[in-house]
Amino acid sequence: MKRISSNDIARLAGVSRSTVSRVINGYSNVPEETYNRVMQIVREQHYYPQLSGRQLSGKGSNTLGLFWIGKPNLSQALFSSNMFMIVIDAAAQRNYLTLADIVPNLSEERYANQVRRVFSEGRIDAGIFIGANNAEPLMEELPDNGYIVGIHDYYRENDPQPLRLSVNYDRSSGEQIIDYLYALGHRKIAILSGDLTHQSCLDRHESFLRGMTKHHLPLRNQWMAYGGYTEEPAYLGARQMLSACMDDLPTAICANNDSAAMGVYQACGELGLRIPEDISVFGTDDGPIAATASPPMSTFVIDTRKLFFSLVNRVIDTLEGKENVPRTEFIQGTLLPRASSAPPREHRNP
């Protein structure tokens, strides 16, 4: 497979390689007649300059890295897969390709090196990170070495590093959910939190607490538990929490996200608790499983597409030298009650 080179095009068009290059790169100092002659041959031959040559003479790769931090497991994959599609799509709309990489964790040196390598080899112009926790040293190192990173769900106050961008989730989701449940008549509300080293889990947790406090609702230890952010640990957390307080059950339970809420569904099913008759359940995210869950899940809608478009666009803006690009953005969401939430038993009409 002998590839065609700029030399071949130059020969066919009767010009020098320099001119071919000028045409390809759309420089202004080429007469229209020459431009057309060269372009016609370029198109006929399906000629696209080798990236390696371009890069070696100083051009970028026009590629974004997409680093998925975590095991490629299914429950996450369900939600994540959309994220992949969306990032690829967002990048494509700015004429960037996406190099995807799954990295089990960043604390092991070999995996951190896997990421460093992709940057160092010059494969990408910037990297998007999904699943990095908020204290990840690599998220310091990379921008400090001059690499642009865009981090999903990562926050630091007044970040001085202009090469580190991020996108964050609505910080009022918990409060809005509690407000709603309170209005329905709920007073005994349980909270199943996620991994608090992730910014959104922390934000949601704090937001739930603010909501509870605002309405003077009791924050009881036995109604607060850890549920991770996938179905399995949430199921275990919910099951343990609920079975430990069967004599004084909460009337509603708020999970860190939809997958976790599915774990709650499962735990409730096993304990014979009907949703929403015996207990209301809330997720957060409005991921692909919420609407088709049985019963349909009350949740808080986050527009994942908007979220990643914000991140990708700001990363590319930075890459292309735009000034004063906002370091982060909080994507506002909206409450979406469905059948999994209802007034608690004592408030219902007989």
Which residue from 34, 55, 105, 176 is in contact with a copy of itself, where contact means CB under 8 A? Answer: 55
**Least Å from the CB of residue 316 to a copy of itself:** 17
Question: Quick check: 3 binds DNA (CB under 7 A)?
Answer: yes
Q: Kindly state whether residue 59 participates in binding DNA, applying the rule CB under 7 A.
A: yes
Distance of CA 164 to the CA centre of its chain: 15
Pick the closest to residue 103 from 95, 112, 93 (CA basis). Answer: 112
The span from the CA of 153 to the CA of 34, in Å, is 50
Q: Does 84 bind a copy of itself (CB under 8 A)?
A: yes
> How far apart, in whole angstroms, are the C-alpha atoms of residue 188 and residue 347?
13
Site pattern 129..148 for a copy of itself (x: CB under 8 A): ----------------xxx-
CA 11 to chain centroid: 48
Amino acid code (one letter) for 332: Q
Going by the DSSP 8-state scheme, the letter that residue 189 receives in this structure is E
Give residue for tokens 């204290």. 135
Structure tokens at 66: 């997409």
Taking CB under 7 A as the criterion, the residue among 12, 19, 279, 337 binding DNA is: 19
Residue choice 56, 74, 97, 244 for contact with DNA (CB under 7 A):
56
Q: Give the residue among 256, 276, 250, 194 at the shortest CA–CA distance from 265.
A: 276
How far does CA 204 lie from the centroid of its chain?
Answer: 15
Is the Cβ of residue 8 or residue 278 nearer to DNA in the bound state? Answer: 8
Among residue numbers 27 through 46, which ones bind DNA (CB under 7 A)? 29-31, 34
Which of 1, 43, 57, 158 binds DNA (CB under 7 A)? It is 57
Phi, psi (rounded to 5 degrees) for 162 = -70, -15
Nearer to a copy of itself, 248 or 277 (CB): 277
Residue from 6, 207, 328, 340 touching DNA (CB under 7 A): that is: 6
> How is residue 20 written in tokens?
């071919």
Q: Which is nearer to a copy of itself, 101 or 195 (CB)?
A: 101
63 binds, among a copy of itself, DNA, none (CB under 5 to 8 A by kind): a copy of itself
Distance CA 167, CA 128 (A): 11
**Binding site partner of 118, from a copy of itself, DNA, none, Cβ cut-off 5-8 A by kind:** a copy of itself
Q: Which does 58 bind (CB under 5 to 8 A by kind): DNA, a copy of itself, none?
A: DNA
Considering the complex, what minimum distance in angstroms separates the CB of residue 88 from a copy of itself? Answer: 5
Rg, Å, the chain Cα set: 26
Buried b (16+ CB within 10 A) or exposed e, 306-325: ebbbbbbbbbbbbbeeeeeb
Cβ atoms within 10 Å, residue 93:
12
Our CB check for a copy of itself shows the closer of 37 and 116 to be 116
Measured CA to CA, the distance from residue 101 to residue 78 in angstroms comes to 17
Q: Is 12 in the site for a copy of itself (CB under 8 A)?
A: no
Contacts with a copy of itself by CB under 8 A lie at 1, 3-4, 46-53, 55-56, 63, 66, 68, 72, 74, 77-78, 80-86, 88-89, 92, 97-102, 113, 116-118, 120-123, 145-147, 262, 288-289, 292-294
Contacts with DNA by CB under 7 A lie at 3-7, 15-22, 24-25, 29-31, 34, 49-50, 52-54, 56-59
